Amino acid sequence: MLNFQKLHPNFVAEVSPVELRQLHDRETLDEIRDGMDQYAVLVFRDQPFTDPEQLDFARRLDGQLHSRTGAAAIGRSRLGDEALTDISNIDETGGVLAPGDRRRMYSLGNRLWHTDASFVDPPGRYSMLSARVIPSVPVDTEFADMRAAYDALPLEMKAHLEHLLAHHSIAYSRQTLGFEFSEDEKEQLRGAVHPLVRRIPRSGRSALYLASHASRIIDWPVPEGRLLLRDLMEHATQPQFVYRHRWCVRDFVIWDNRATMHRARPFDDAKHRRELRRVTTLDIAQLA
């Protein structure tokens, strides 16, 4: 039996005791899936994953992996597997990326509120981030509970949002920061359309499905759609909906991209080395 200790009034729990690399039994994997339904973000301490172990665990827990990442469109991963996203400030020689390096510019987009892989179809479901090298200065990630944010909307607003669709594009969110793409990259990153409110089948809860990737509301004038998206982002990221995670080495955090947004917080990345690895599963039929 796992213990779930809640870290925020609305969501997020720390789970113990478990060694995820060795975890194969169906009951415990089910307990974790149930925990994801309830808490949307689960924190596991002291999980010394290697890259292959992390990929294997992600498949055991939730099936097929997302590999059409934005980073894959702009260059090959130094890790050699596009399902394993390199969330680090390290180049292929092991040095810290220079401030003007295009890969660093691109990864700065992770500081915008977003949900992973909303710009593809099927979109991302669970993301799993493993902390390999963490500096002594704080390197934090914030998470926002998009179910609580939805629940807190007035009834008229909920009715207004019902059936709306949004277009998500990672080229759009990066362009808002001034990052430019080649025509070929844009072609690979055309984006996808998803409902603005998603019902999560296993929990039955509704969530705002927002991200900085959301570029417009389908069939609406672009400025009007962008203003609605901005208002909703502002609503959903109020302090009462947000948990801030301070990373320690060997932390492993799983979040549900259908139910949360997240953003990286700044640190002096020209000076401090930080390495994390992310694997994201696709939102297709769920394992049971």
Nearest Cα residue to 134 out of 42, 280, 264: 264
Q: Are 253 and 42 in contact (CB under 8 A)?
A: yes
Please calculate the CA angle 124-107-54 and round it to the nearest 5 degrees.
Answer: 50
113-142 binders of Fe ion (CB under 5 A): 116
**Mask for 29-58, x = binds Fe ion (CB under 5 A):** ------------------------------
CB-wise, 42 or 161, nearer to Fe ion? 42
Q: Please work out the total of residues on this chain that contact Fe ion, with binding judged by CB under 5 A.
A: 1
Interhelix angle 26-39/51-62, nearest 10 degrees: 80
Nearer to Fe ion, 116 or 251 (CB): 116
Q: Which is nearer to Fe ion, 58 or 153 (CB)?
A: 58
Where in 88-117 is the site for Fe ion (CB under 5 A)?
A: 116
Q: Which residue has the tokens 């498949």?
A: 59
Our CB check for Fe ion shows the closer of 116 and 283 to be: 116
Q: Does 86 bind Fe ion (CB under 5 A)?
A: no
Q: For residue 220, what are its two tokens?
A: 């609406």
Least separation in angstroms between residue 10's CB and Fe ion is 20
Nearest to 120 by CA among 56, 160, 54, 64: 64
Q: How far apart are CA 85 and CA 60, in angstroms?
A: 18
Q: Beta 124-133 vs 214-217: how paired, if at all?
A: unpaired
Shortest reach from residue 53's CB to Fe ion, in Å: 21
Q: How far is the CB of 262 from Fe ion (least distance, A)?
A: 6
Binding site for Fe ion (CB under 5 A): 116
